[in-house]
């Protein structure tokens, strides 16, 4: 089987199929076999694993996944790539290609149908334009995903990994860290792709927590407090949260919070009333949320 992970094999394949890169689909194909091997290693794939790959492109990463995993479900939105994948993956009987938009796939159902509801891994060189909805959609789907190892824009990896205090820390850091432990596996140069992206890239592994690390009572309330806290970063937390309304889980009840209530809660937590949202840890947000 000819591997596609070189510039010449990729160029030859797209020429043969008369394929045109679609910018709107974030198509930057990997052309470096060493990077692919490192991604497979970081994802710790074994023959026991069922892997979902998002956006197989011409099948470059899929070949490596198929050789390591028991089963690979590759979800590709671009119908022009389906005939290419049919040929480049013809040697692998353990790969199923699904021509669909990943944001419209019922991941829980897919995991149930393809792996009898057992834990699945997600591995991908993601289309960067929808990185956040993909990652949050996977976590919020309640599908049994054990870990996610993906190539993302470097700036996004830094934001996911960030802790309190820095400029990268925000809603994305807290939302992802609520569900998983992030680890930056490596940074990847634009030279490793065809065509070369204009931004740097990083591979990040998100290992799902067996249960969320904090008790927030209501996830919906926790995330709305966090979103409101970072809405205007330069304001103090008390000013950001003052007069915000939060939906209480499921019941459609709206909770309006006053500045004084936030200050009282911060006092109980022995935190200055002039603190900014970016200084609080996930745990502190959970405590604050329970006090409000």
Minimum Å gap between C-beta 99 and ligand SAM is 9
> Which residue of 13, 55, 205, 289 would you call a contact of ligand SAM, by CB under 6 A?
55
Omega of the bond leading into 55 within 30 degrees of 0 (cis): no
Residue 127 binds to ligand SAM (criterion: CB under 6 A): yes
Is residue 219 within the footprint of ligand SAM (CB under 6 A)?
A: no
32 binds ligand SAM (CB under 6 A): no
Sole binder of ligand SAM in the list 13, 88, 115, 125 (CB under 6 A):
125
Interface with ligand SAM, residue 26, by CB under 6 A: yes
Using the rule CB under 6 A, is 277 a contact of ligand SAM?
no
Q: How far is the CB of 247 from ligand SAM (least distance, A)?
A: 28
Comparison of 14 and 226: residue with beta carbon closer to ligand SAM: 14
Does 25 sit near ligand SAM (CB under 6 A)? yes
Phi/psi at 2 (5° precision):
-80, 125
101 sits near ligand SAM (criterion: CB under 6 A): yes
Q: How far is the CB of 80 from ligand SAM (least distance, A)?
A: 9
How many residues touch ligand SAM (CB under 6 A)? 23
Q: Exactly one of 43, 61, 89, 216 binds ligand SAM (CB under 6 A); which one? A: 61
Q: Considering beta carbons, is residue 39 or 229 the nearer one to ligand SAM?
A: 39
Residue nearest to ligand SAM (CB): 55
Applying CB under 6 A, which part among 88-96, 124-132, 242-250, 254-262 lies near ligand SAM? 124-132
Tell me the C-alpha distance between 140 and 270, whole Å: 33
Question: Measured from the CB atom, is 29 or 230 closer to ligand SAM?
Answer: 29
| Among the residue ranges 24-32, 44-52, 65-73, 82-90, the one whose residues contact ligand SAM (CB under 6 A) | 24-32
Assess contact for 257 and 246: CB atoms under 8 A: yes
Both structure tokens of 51: 């892997």
Of 130-169, binders to ligand SAM (CB under 6 A) are: 130
The C-alpha R_g of the chain, in whole angstroms, comes to 21
Q: Please, what is the minimum distance in Å from the beta carbon of residue 150 to ligand SAM? A: 10
By the 10 Å C-beta count (0-12 exposed, 13-18 middle, 19+ buried), 20 is classed as exposed
**Token pair in block for residue 209:** 């927590």
Q: What residues make contact with ligand SAM under the rule CB under 6 A?
A: 25-30, 54-57, 60-61, 75-78, 81, 101-103, 125, 127, 130
């Amino acid at each position: 089987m000819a591997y596609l992970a070189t510039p010449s094999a990729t160029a030859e394949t797209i020429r043969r199929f008369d394929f045109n890169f679609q910018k709107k689909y974030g198509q930057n194909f990997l052309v470096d076999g060493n990077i692919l091997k490192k991604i497979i290693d970081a994802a710790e794939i074994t023959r026991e694993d069922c892997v979902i790959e998002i956006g197989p492109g011409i099948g470059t990463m899929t070949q490596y996944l198929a050789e390591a995993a028991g089963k690979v479900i590759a979800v590709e939105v671009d119908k022009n790539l389906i005939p290419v994948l049919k040929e480049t993956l013809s040697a692998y009987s353990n790969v199923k290609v699904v021509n669909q938009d990943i944001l419209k796939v019922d991941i829980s159902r897919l995991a149930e149908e393809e792996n009898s509801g057992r834990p699945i891994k997600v591995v991908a060189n993601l289309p960067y334009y929808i990185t956040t909805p993909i990652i949050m959609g996977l976590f919020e789907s309640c599908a049994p995903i054990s870990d996610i190892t993906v190539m993302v824009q470097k700036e996004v990896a830094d934001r996911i990994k960030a802790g309190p205090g820095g400029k990268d820390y925000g809603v994305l850091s807290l939302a992802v860290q609520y569900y998983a432990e992030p680890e930056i596996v490596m940074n990847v140069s634009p030279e490793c792709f065809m065509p070369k992206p204009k931004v740097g890239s990083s591979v990040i592994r998100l290992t799902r927590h067996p249960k969320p690390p904090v008790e927030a009572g209501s996830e919906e309330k926790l995330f709305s407090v966090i979103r409101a806290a970072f809405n205007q970063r330069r304001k103090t937390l008390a000013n950001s949260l003052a007069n915000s309304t939060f939906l209480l889980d499921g019941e459609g009840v709206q909770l309006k919070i006053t500045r004084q209530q936030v200050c009282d809660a911060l006092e109980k937590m022995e935190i200055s009333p002039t603190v900014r949202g970016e200084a609080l840890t996930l745990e502190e947000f959970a405590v604050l949320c329970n006090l409000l």
